[in-house]
Amino acid sequence: MRKFDSLFIGLMLFSMFFGAGNLIFPPFLGAMSGTSYWLAMAGFVLTAVGLPFAVLFAIARVKGGIQAIGNRVHPVFSTVFMVIVYLSIGPFLAIPRNANVAFEMGVVSFTGSSNPVLLLVYSAVFFLLVYFVSLNPANLEKYLGRYMTPTLLVSVVALCVLGFMKLDGNFQAPAGGYESGAFFKGFLEGYNTMDALAALAFGIVILTAVKQRGVRSETQMTSYMLKAALVAGSLLALVYVSLGAVGAKMAANGEFENGTQILAGAAAHVFGQSGPLLLGVIFTLACFTTVVGLTSACGQYFSDLLPKASYKMVVLMVALIGFTLSNMGLSQILKVSVPFLVTAYPLTIVLVTLTFFDKYFNGARIVYASTMLFTGIFAVIGGLNAFGFSLGPVETLRTALPFSSSGLEWVVPALAGAVVGILLNKVVPATQLDELKAKAS
């Protein structure tokens, strides 16, 4: 690899991560957390930056990547889990969400109305460009890392720096759940970026980019992948803190329903009539690069999983499904996102955490299976609760668990599952040995 390849791959990774949610949620967190901003932002960065970095690190250090990690639970679990993740961060949730946000900020902010015909035309052009850029994954680093990301970064930096300088509002009193437990509230808000799940998919894109530069050594691939992840993670953390600070200052200028309104107000305040144009550029670039990254990741995964499906065929299908669902409207898409994330994130966190402690229980499958089972039960319960289902006694059990008020009721069951797995791992081999001895006698 050449001297700056890790930097450009890191910029490509940043652009793939940095989509709609990464723009919307930090400023709203800043506005709501107020004087508890730094505590809330610490929790947010932990799940929005730290967890994706941990996922990439786990993928880099385990030969076979995330599929091999999932196989430690069971091959069927691995395939089902990854298919669900790819479909969710791909054509059925994250891709249409990003396309819709790009339309809302890049078109509606100028026209003042969300016309279905206009959305149809915009999304058709958007996904046509996504399809052609995604066709050749070898060129993603050039398109995303060298061209689009610098433009995106300059635009975001201009908004944040000038916004922080020109906005003179003081941090307000915490609200919206940040009055107590601001760290845990920010921790859960980090789920909404979906970056930990995206990291499961982007790992294959980064490894492909490294391999295409002639790197074959497992040690070198791990090293280059971690360097790229460090570049992307550092930039993400810096942008989140900056956007959050802008949101915290904007809170003194009125009430806002979401991060989009905050950024729109900040852009108008700082840049006047040209503010919406800058914001449109930021959102369009951020959403487009993320959709390209997700489309390419889905193409590489499903073409490997299904030998009869070529990469180009999968990319076409992902683009068509994303185009169709994006025309349903943003509100319908977002209704599904929170319950899904409440279910998927605990499973991802626990699975990745187990890989770092693998040597302490000799990689025993029973430990993985038991821990994931206990976690999965309460992750599903949390997801159903987020959907609004009344669970009766089950809900009473959930709320009785430690950390349930912070949305982390799965932590204790996960620990219990690990303990049960470790104990079974000690007992089962001994039992099997006794049975063999009995048969021999």
CATH for 167? 1.10.4160.10
pTM > 0.85: no
Query: Structurally, how many domains does the chain consist of?
Result: 2
Domain match, 206 and 314 both = yes
Long-range pairs for 219-227: beta carbons < 8 A, 24 or more residues apart: 221/60, 222/60, 222/61, 224/1, 224/5, 224/6, 224/9, 225/56, 225/59, 225/60, 226/56, 226/57, 226/60, 227/6, 227/10
Range of the domain at 241: 5-334
d(CA 432, CA 435): 5
pLDDT for res 311: 92
With cut-offs at 50, 70 and 90, classify the pLDDT of residue 437: very low
pLDDT in tens, 378-416: 888 888 887 777 778 888 888 888 888 777 889 999 999
With cut-offs at 50, 70 and 90, classify the pLDDT of residue 141: low
In-domain check, residue 29: yes
Among 303, 334, 365, the domain boundary falls at 334
In-domain check, residue 250: yes
pLDDT in tens, 144-181: 767 777 888 888 888 888 887 888 778 899 998 899 88
Residues 6+ apart with CB under 8 A from 242: 156, 157, 160, 161, 164
Pick the residue with more confidence: 3 or 5?
A: 5
What's the chain's average pLDDT?
A: 84
Domain match, 41 and 153 both = yes
In-domain check, residue 130: yes
pLDDT in tens, 174-226: 998 899 889 999 998 988 887 888 888 777 777 777 777 777 677 777 788 88
